[in-house]
Amino acid sequence: MIRLANADDAAAICAIYNRYVLNTTISFEDTTVRAPAMAERISAVFAAGLPWYVCEEDGVILGYAYASPWRTRHAYRFSVEISAYVSPERKLSGIGSQLYAHLIDDLQQRGMHSVIAGISLPNPASVALHEKFGMTKVAHFKEVGFKFGRWIDVGYWEKQL
């Protein structure tokens, strides 16, 4: 079941996200996020008039996807950055696609014009997910992140809705 997130989901979202923080270069954070901070992030997304979805099965959160403002200047108000994270045990199960389908449909209904996604590289699964939804690579920044003792490239994908 795909539904809008709420503050009560923060701990379950942290359980998914923090595994990426601690074990991968998918997130550039290097310290775990606690539930109160995640609840604030969820609240900030909703306060910006944007959606945050979770995929739940038998009361367990399996993944989430959300949109956040691309930039703060007023002219950017119709452009958002999107992100999705799926429980590592359920990667490549279609949950990311289900979440993005809901998220992108919601963003279209809200009148958003552009969706943008930053992807640490290499990350073929994330690239495939974003390209499945018609996003195209528009930028590649070399060695802009440093984690686990190595430099990491970041690519950006975009789509006009």
Write a three-state SS string for the chain.
CEEECCHHHHHHHHHHHHHHHHHCCCCCCCCCCCHHHHHHHHHHHHHCCCCEEEEEECCEEEEEEEEEECCCCHHHCCEEEEEEEECHHHCCCCHHHHHHHHHHHHHHHCCCCEEEEEEEECCHHHHHHHHHCCCEEEEEEEEEEEECCEEEEEEEEEEEC
pTM of the model: 0.95
**Domains of the chain, start order:** 2-117 (3.40.630.30)
Going residue by residue through the chain, which has 161 residues, state the pLDDT in tens, using 9 for 90 and above.
999 999 999 999 999 999 999 999 999 999 999 999 999 999 999 999 999 999 999 999 999 999 999 999 999 999 999 999 999 886 767 899 999 999 999 999 999 999 999 999 999 999 999 999 999 999 999 999 999 999 999 999 999 99
The token pair at 91 is 């990667």
User: Tens digits of per-residue pLDDT, 54-101?
Assistant: 999 999 999 999 999 999 999 999 999 999 999 988 676 789 999 999
